[in-house]
């Protein structure tokens, strides 16, 4: 996508794809009248061929196209990394809601219904061009900031000109599309220190660059230059097509130059040039520091002045380092051997457990982290101070809303000087909630699959003996009723024992049937399902069961929600099981809410109760087969495992949030049907 001015969208290149010549001409007239450039084609193949050869800023297409329709074209564009962010706007006479939903599912950014006024067309297209430009600028800015942060860290302790040249040339080669990169830095009156990076590594070899030509250019250079004539190239390599030169300039003085060779002219983009210029500025600052360092080392007379300058520059570097540390997506603090806090980064100030930096610096760590065990903290810090080894543990925290966060806490020893004694301990906290949940989901799926395979093989072997036991018990009971055992005083005991045998056999059969349900493949017939009707039916069934007293059941589901693809019976089974569990969690009454909402092309079904909640220690086990907190005979512990399997087979997922004493929310997430 070509760069645009975010304040002035005129001059963008628009591709119009429509099989009607009159429509193409009308759109061409509208957009060219607004200052844009337009290219018009009549079908999708022609559009694809053109986009491979030429860069466009926005595609406006009709849905109904010969051979390949407009939505298929959009999917093809979204499948290509280079065009994933390219704005695509549909201009169609088809105003049906289903067609619009299908278009947005295919990845279009806007849907304009024909006919439309020129003003609306220009306004909406300009809006998407501006959004695309802002996104492109943000990506470029993030890349540039990351590049500068890495280079800045590398230059923090770089004092020799050769080191500066190597750092800058290496960073440019690794961070851009350069075929070769060379950095030349003034070496305190001893010529230029040169480093060249290519595919085979680096070389401090001045012969690889035309120094005479470079020095001649530096004498008058104040701004970057492009070289496209190979006879003017500075790097001795015949395989590149263009060179970009920028002076390493600080305080009006050229300290050297940065020369970057590109294999093709297209690789030398505006973003690449901006990164090179930024690297040259950092290199200039580092080269300036290097020059001062060398002069201070060689001239004792100016040592005091140089020390003052270095101190000021060190403070600048320290502020820069602090800014980098504050920008890290980690919580970080450091303590000295007296357990006083000496560092506290910005992320450590955020969140429910965050504290302002000004309130904690200089204080004892145990006075600040009062919610953590002092004995445990003291042991952990003491071990790191004593052994000098990194200590890592994983911790869980629960927010006020009941969400559980997982953290990887690393305590890292630091030595302020060359002595072996650890002077400080740095504690870094990394939020690994997403990773932990992903690992647990995989482990849970593997566990459920293993139990399912085991259940499928065992159930049939158990059911036959159970049936025999139950039949024998019933037969003996019948014989007792017929008087076969007469008036024996043991007949009544025998009748009681047989009743127990029969009841327990049928209870075992209930468990094995649940296992069989759990292990069966849930293929089912997938049809468009109205999720509103599913939860309403579940609410009616739960109300008729009369499982709990003083239970208020609310259903919140609009009638016009998109449908999902699935088996009606299985989805209703899942919702009913969750609702039944919710009622069991409210023995003293409460409110059960069944809610359906659409969010980002996904259908969410929430089953919310105001019951006793789930203790944190049980949260990781609730989907395990046979895990239950109910009394014996009240549940098999298979309900949630079966629900989890049903929703996984439907391409969805089941999540849970719970706070003890407040209630629990189970959330079913299902993809919207694309029929």
What is the arithmetic mean of pLDDT over 91-112? 89
With CA atoms as reference, report the closest residue to 245 among 200, 204, 254. 254
User: Mapping DSSP to helix (H, G, I), strand (E, B) and coil, where does residue 24 land?
Assistant: helix
* Burial (Cβ within 10 Å: 0-12, 13-18, ≥19) of residue 328: middle
What is the arithmetic mean of pLDDT over 477-497? 72
Answer CATH for 437-519 from 3.30.200, 3.90.1200, 1.10.3470, 1.10.287 = 1.10.287
d(CA 199, CA 603): 50
pLDDT bin (cut points 50, 70, 90) of residue 628 is confident
d(CA 19, CA 31): 18
Query: CA-CA distances (angstroms) from residue 197 to 58, 79, 92, 208, 283?
Result: 38, 34, 53, 10, 16
| Tens-digit pLDDT profile for residues 391-413 | 888 887 777 666 778 888 898 99
Tokens for 567?
């088996």
* Cβ pair 249, 145 in contact under 8 A: no
Superfamily of domain 156-323: GAF domain (3.30.450.40)
* Cβ pair 78, 107 in contact under 8 A: yes
Query: Where, residue-wise, is CATH 3.30.565.10 in the chain?
Result: 527-671
* Cβ pair 217, 257 in contact under 8 A: yes
Q: Considering the chain, what percentage of its residues have pLDDT values greater than 70?
A: 85
Position 6 scores a pLDDT of 34
* Cβ pair 545, 504 in contact under 8 A: no
What is the arithmetic mean of pLDDT over 41-63? 89
* Cβ pair 241, 220 in contact under 8 A: no
User: Mapping DSSP to helix (H, G, I), strand (E, B) and coil, where does residue 380 land?
Assistant: helix
Q: How many of the other CB atoms lie within 10 Å of CB of 419? A: 8
User: Mapping DSSP to helix (H, G, I), strand (E, B) and coil, where does residue 413 land?
Assistant: strand
Query: Where, residue-wise, is CATH 1.10.287 in the chain?
Result: 437-519
Question: CATH number of the domain at 13-139, please?
Answer: 3.40.50.2300
CATH 3.40.1160.10 is the classification of domain 328-431: no
Query: Is the pLDDT score of 321 beyond 80?
Result: no
List, in sequence order, the alpha helices (H) in 194-251: 211-220
Query: Is the pLDDT score of 450 beyond 80?
Result: no
What is the arithmetic mean of pLDDT over 177-200? 84
Q: What mean pLDDT value characterizes the chain? A: 81
d(CA 325, CA 331): 10
Position 668 scores a pLDDT of 93
pTM to 2 decimal places: 0.36
With CA atoms as reference, report the closest residue to 153 among 341, 334, 327, 411. 327
Query: Is the pLDDT score of 173 beyond 70?
Result: yes
Query: Where, residue-wise, is CATH 3.30.450.20 in the chain?
Result: 328-431
d(CA 350, CA 330): 11
Overall residue count recorded for the chain in this entry:
675
pLDDT bin (cut points 50, 70, 90) of residue 588 is confident
d(CA 495, CA 501): 10
Answer CATH for 527-671 from 1.10.630.10, 3.30.300.30, 3.40.50.2030, 3.30.565.10 = 3.30.565.10
pLDDT bin (cut points 50, 70, 90) of residue 480 is confident
Tokens for 641?
């495992």
Query: Where, residue-wise, is CATH 3.30.450.40 in the chain?
Result: 156-323
pLDDT bin (cut points 50, 70, 90) of residue 456 is low
* Cβ pair 353, 431 in contact under 8 A: no
User: Mapping DSSP to helix (H, G, I), strand (E, B) and coil, where does residue 652 land?
Assistant: coil
* Burial (Cβ within 10 Å: 0-12, 13-18, ≥19) of residue 277: middle
DSSP codes joined into one string, 86-152: S-EEEEES---HHHHHHHHHHT-SEEEESS--HHHHHHHHHHHHHHHHHHHHHHHHHHHHHHHHHHH
pLDDT bin (cut points 50, 70, 90) of residue 481 is confident
Q: In this predicted model, which residue has the larger pLDDT, 452 or 145? A: 145
pLDDT bin (cut points 50, 70, 90) of residue 521 is very low
């Amino acid at each position: 996508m070509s760069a645009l001015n975010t304040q002035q969208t005129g001059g963008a290149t628009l591709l119009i794809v429509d099989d009607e010549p009159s429509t193409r001409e009308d759109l061409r007239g509208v957009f060219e009248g607004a200052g844009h450039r337009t290219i018009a084609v009549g079908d999708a193949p022609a559009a694809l061929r053109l986009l491979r050869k030429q860069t466009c800023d926005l595609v406006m297409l009709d849905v109904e196209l010969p051979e390949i329709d407009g939505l298929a074209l959009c999917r093809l564009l979204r499948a290509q990394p280079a065009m994933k962010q390219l704005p695509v706007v549909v201009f169609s006479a088809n105003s049906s809601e289903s067609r619009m939903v299908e278009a947005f599912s295919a990845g279009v950014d806007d849907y304009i219904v024909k006919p439309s006024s020129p003003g609306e067309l220009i306004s909406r297209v300009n809006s998407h061009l501006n959004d695309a430009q802002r996104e492109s600028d943000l990506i470029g800015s993030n890349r540039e900031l990351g590049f500068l942060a890495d280079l800045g860290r590398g230059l923090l302790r770089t004092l020799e000109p050769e080191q500066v040249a190597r750092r800058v040339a290496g960073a440019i080669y690794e961070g851009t599309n350069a075929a070769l990169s060379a950095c030349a830095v003034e070496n305190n009156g001893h010529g230029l220190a040169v480093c060249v990076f290519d595919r085979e590594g680096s070389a401090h070899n001045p012969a690889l660059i035309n120094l005479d030509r470079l020095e001649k250019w530096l004498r008058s250079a104040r701004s970057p230059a492009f070289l496209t004539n190979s006879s003017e190239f500075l790097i001795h390599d015949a395989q590149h097509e263009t060179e970009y030169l920028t002076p390493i300039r600080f305080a009006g003085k050229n300290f050297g130059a940065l020369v970057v060779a590109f294999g093709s002219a297209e690789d030398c983009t505006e973003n690449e040039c901006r990164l090179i210029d930024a690297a040259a500025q950092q290199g200039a600052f580092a080269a300036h520091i290097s020059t001062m360092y060398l002069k201070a080392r060689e001239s004792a007379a100016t040592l005091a002045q140089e020390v003052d300058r270095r101190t000021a520059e060190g403070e600048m570097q320290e502020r820069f380092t602090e800014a980098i540390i504050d920008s890290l997506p980690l919580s970080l603090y450091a303590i000295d051997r007296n357990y006083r806090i000496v560092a506290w980064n910005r992320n450590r100030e955020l969140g429910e457990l965050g504290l302002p930096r000004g309130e904690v610096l200089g204080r004892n760590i145990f006075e600040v982290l009062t919610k953590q065990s002092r004995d445990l903290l003291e042991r952990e810090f003491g071990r790191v101070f004593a052994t000098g080894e990194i200590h890592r543990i994983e911790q869980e925290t629960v927010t006020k809303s009941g969400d559980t966060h997982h953290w990887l806490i690393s305590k890292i020893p630091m030595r302020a000087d060359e002595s072996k004694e650890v002077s400080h301990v740095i504690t870094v906290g990394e939020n690994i909630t997403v990773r932990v949940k992903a690992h647990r989901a995989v482990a849970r799926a593997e566990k459920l699959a293993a139990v399912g395979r085991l259940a499928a093989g065992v159930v049939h072997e158990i059911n036959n003996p159970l049936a025999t036991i139950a039949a024998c018990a019933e037969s003996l009971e019948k014989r007792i009723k017929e008087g076969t055992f007469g008036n024996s005083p043991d007949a009544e005991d025998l009748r009681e024992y047989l009743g127990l045998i029969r009841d327990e056999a049928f209870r075992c059969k209930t468990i094995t049937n649940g296992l069989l349900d759990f292990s069966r493949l849930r293929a089912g017939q997938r049809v468009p399902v109205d999720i509103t009707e599913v939860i309403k039916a579940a609410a009616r069934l739960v109300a008729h069961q009369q499982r709990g007293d003083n239970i208020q059941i609310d259903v919140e589901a609009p009638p016009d929600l998109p449908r999902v693809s699935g088996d009606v019976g299985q989805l209703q089974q899942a919702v009913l099981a969750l609702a039944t569990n919710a009622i069991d969690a409210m023995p003293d009454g409460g409110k059960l809410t069944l809610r359906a909402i659409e969010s980002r092309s996904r259908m969410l079904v929430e089953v919310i109760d105001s019951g006793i909640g789930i203790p944190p220690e049980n949260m990781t086990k609730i989907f395990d087969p046979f895990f239950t907190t109910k009394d014996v005979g009240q549940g098999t512990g298979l309900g949630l495992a079966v629900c989890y399997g049903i929703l996984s087979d439907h391409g969805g997922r089941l999540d849970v949030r719970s706070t003890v004493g407040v209630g629990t929310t189970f959330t079913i997430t299902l993809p919207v049907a694309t029929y």
